[in-house]
Amino acid sequence: MASATDSTRNRPAASRADDAVQEWRQGLGFGSLRARIFTVNILAVIVLAIMLLYLDTVRSRLLVERTAGLANEAATIAALVGDLPAPARPAAIERRAFPRGSRLRLYDEAGALAADNWRRPRTPRFIIEDPADYGWRRASAKAIDRGLDVVLGFRERPAYAEASPDTAAQWEEVAATRARGQPATALRRASDGSLIVTAAADVAGVGTVHLTDSADDLADILRTERLTSAWLLVIVTGLTLFLSLYLARTIVRPLRLLAVAAHRVRLGRSREVVVPRLPERRDEIGALARAISDMSIALRRQIDATEAFAADVAHELKNPLASLRSATEVLERVEAPALRAQLMGVIRDDVGRIDRLITDIADASRLDAELSRTGFEPVDAGALLAGLVAAYGVAGLPRGVRLEHVPPPRLVRVLGDAGRLAQVLRNLIDNAISFSPDGGTVRIGISDEGREVAMTVADSGPGVPPDNRADIFRRFYSQRPEGEDFGRHSGLGLSIAGAIIAAHGGSIKVDDAPGGGALFTVRVPAA
């Protein structure tokens, strides 16, 4: 029985890639940028909601202030009543009117009602409404108030009720002020849900002054503020959701498209994946999209180049291998010593050619990786060329070829890797020597062109035809002078030289040299 792993491996690559992308999408979850945008924006709404609920603490402070003010007012009235003669006290109490319609009563020492300002018909008085007479708006407002009180944990108050007959015994605050000699207050809730504040103050030798006031105006103020804040909360919530969706569309969506495309490229589906370039976006996301698109194109080109390189390597290795196989097969059937010696020479040449091919291929394959790790430094180009010329002078040149080198008049520095630049120049000088006739001259020069430094190698050979000047920098292209042993060159030298100079941010080209021959010009950035 096949295992689950074997079953997965046998599935088509496209199906596995789709599953991997889907798994990656599901893994985003709450940690995605979209969720974070919504979370951050909703936090502002939550803060606003908390501020809305904070209004309840304002109500509590207003109630405390209203209770303290009523207690002070009761104490003031008690002092005034105590200064009045006994016959004038009831009339003074009954003539007293309050803007909010507060009720003022005077109880004698026995607790009986001695005076009440509500006995006068025109005295302003607060009203306790009948819930049965509420309209739907009023009923809804009261229901919301009660609901918020429950949510916020507002302490329930005793019910407010007027006893009949009206005596001081029904008010706990009256007993409290008589016991302590200080004004006492109480907070009760009426049948319509409004809060009733009461305060009592003792009048020595007379009785007790009792003030009753409704705090429904505070509830109306609080309700108005809550309604305003609620509308503000709704508007802010709507704007927050709109902005969150806008940000998610303008930021998260293109980033997710790019991430999915990059993930598909990583899974090896780069040829069928089109990375969106977002040309209409002129911001950082657009720049990122175009950078990823260019990167994917470069990756495809690199894959194509690697594939082509592998094909070229296989092709180049097949020729000497075929020759080697043919020579070894014939060698087994040949008895003549002279012919066997000739075949052995062919075998040695083929082995040497294969060895040079493998060496150059290994160097070419490592080139990009090594250049990516190399740190470029200022290099004295004049000293570099002088050292190469001196080395060739010590080793000696074949066929009487001479090197001419004119040192630069001043210090010329380039930014690069000295070893790789020397490799390029040696390759060009070796080619110039091989193509130069007997007794020819190879001229080496250097010039400072401001931002660039030009290094030239010119020979007196046949030159390079214009039609072949682009081909000579291709891999395994080889056009050698007559008389040179076959297979001495792999055709990778100029290709490697071009790659090295490209990695340095420079250029290399070939032209006709003055007086005939080939002129190679290498330009690299100045240090």
Task: Give the Cα separation of 224 and 461 in Å (integer).
Answer: 100
Provide DSSP, 208-239. EEEEEEE-HHHHHHHHHHHHHHHHHHHHHHHH
Choose between 157 and 96: higher pLDDT. Answer: 96
- What is the model's pLDDT at position 72? 94
Task: For 294, list phi and psi in degrees, rounded to 5.
Answer: -65, -40
Predicted confidence at residue 489, as pLDDT, reads 53
Neighbour-count burial of 237, counting CB atoms closer than 10 A to its CB (0-12 exposed, 13-18 middle, 19+ buried) = middle
pLDDT higher than 70, residue 12: no
Residue 51 has pLDDT above 50, yes or no: yes
Mean per-residue pLDDT for 352-362?
A: 76
Q: Give CA–CA dist 93/113, Å, rounded.
A: 12
CB 3 within 8 A of CB 11: no
pLDDT value for 117: 93
pLDDT per residue as tens digits for the range 480-515: 555 444 445 556 778 888 888 888 889 999 988 888
Question: What one-letter code names the amino acid at 8?
Answer: T
Q: pLDDT above 70 covers what percent of the chain?
A: 80
CA–CA separation, 384 and 428 (whole Å): 14
Query: 247 versus 135: which is more confidently predicted?
Result: 247
> What is the helix (H) or strand (E) element at residue 444, kind and residue range?
strand 441-448
Distance of alpha carbon 329 from alpha carbon 156, whole angstroms: 111
Residue 190 has pLDDT above 90, yes or no: no
447-488 pLDDT, tens per residue? 988 889 999 999 988 888 888 777 787 766 666 555 444 445
8 A C-beta contact, residue 431 and residue 494? yes
pLDDT band at 154 (very low <50, low <70, confident <90, very high): low
Does residue 188 carry a pLDDT above 70? Answer: yes
What values do phi and psi take at 60, rounded to 5? -65, -40
User: Residue 81 in contact with residue 206, Cβ under 8 Å?
Assistant: yes
Q: How confident is the model at residue 76 (pLDDT cuts 50, 70, 90)?
A: very high
Quote the CA–CA distance of 461 and 440 in Å, as a whole number. Answer: 8
Q: Do residues 275 and 262 make contact, with C-beta atoms less than 8 angstroms apart? A: yes
- Position 152 scores a pLDDT of 59
User: What whole-number distance in Å separates Cα of residue 506 and Cα of residue 29?
Assistant: 47
Quote the pLDDT of residue 30. 46
Q: Are 458 and 442 in contact (CB under 8 A)?
A: yes
pLDDT tens-digit readout, 298-348: 777 777 777 777 776 776 677 778 888 888 888 778 778 888 888 788 788
Note the pTM of the prediction, 2 decimals.
0.47
Q: Which of 107-111, 242-246, 313-317, 362-366 has the highest mean pLDDT?
A: 107-111
Q: Which residue has the higher pLDDT, 153 or 392?
A: 392
Spatial separation of the C-alpha atoms in residues 455 and 51, rounded to whole Å: 75
Locate the DSSP E strands across 132-225: 184-189, 195-203, 207-214
Residue 78 — very low, low, confident or very high, per pLDDT cuts 50/70/90? very high
Residue 372 has pLDDT above 90, yes or no: no
Q: How far apart are CA 55 and CA 405, in angstroms?
A: 91
52's CB contacts (< 8 A; 6+ apart) are 226, 229, 230, 233
- Tell me which residue of 64, 167, 67 sits closest to 111, measured CA to CA: 167
* Choice among 48-52, 60-64, 125-129, 182-186 with the minimum mean pLDDT: 48-52
Question: What's the Cα-to-Cα distance from 132 to each of 41, 159, 215, 217, rounded to whole Å?
Answer: 43, 18, 21, 20
Residues in CB range of 282: below 8 A, 6 or more apart: none
> What is the per-residue pLDDT for 15?
55
pLDDT bracket for residue 153 (50, 70, 90): low
Burial of 122 (0-12, 13-18, 19+ CB in 10 A): exposed
CA 218-224-229 angle, to 5 degrees, is 125
Both tokens of 463, joined, read 């030159």
> What is the tens place of the pLDDT at every residue in 248-306?
778 778 888 888 888 777 776 556 667 777 888 777 888 888 888 888 887 777 777 77
Q: Taking residues 171-197, what's their average pLDDT? A: 89
Give residue-wise pLDDT tens across range 373-418.
777 889 998 899 888 888 887 767 888 888 888 888 888 899 888 8
- Tell me which residue of 107, 99, 219, 120 sits closest to 168, measured CA to CA: 107
- Check pLDDT > 60 for residue 14: no
What pLDDT is attached to residue 9? 47
Q: Across 45-59, 225-239, 266-280, which has the greatest mean pLDDT?
A: 225-239
pLDDT over 90 for what percent of the chain? 17
According to DSSP H, which parts of 251-380 are helical? Answer: 253-266, 284-331, 337-373
pLDDT category at 8 given cuts 50, 70, 90 is very low
Indicate whether 20 pLDDT > 70: no
Distance of CA 468 to the CA centre of its chain: 50
Burial class (CB in 10 A: 0-12, 13-18, 19+), 115: buried
Q: Which amino acid is at 26?
A: Q
Positive or negative, the Cα torsion across 97, 102, 108, 114? positive
Domains in the chain: ranges and CATH: 12-274 (no CATH), 283-372 (1.10.287.130), 374-527 (3.30.565.10)
Average pLDDT value over all residues in the chain: 79
Higher local confidence (pLDDT), 33 or 279: 279
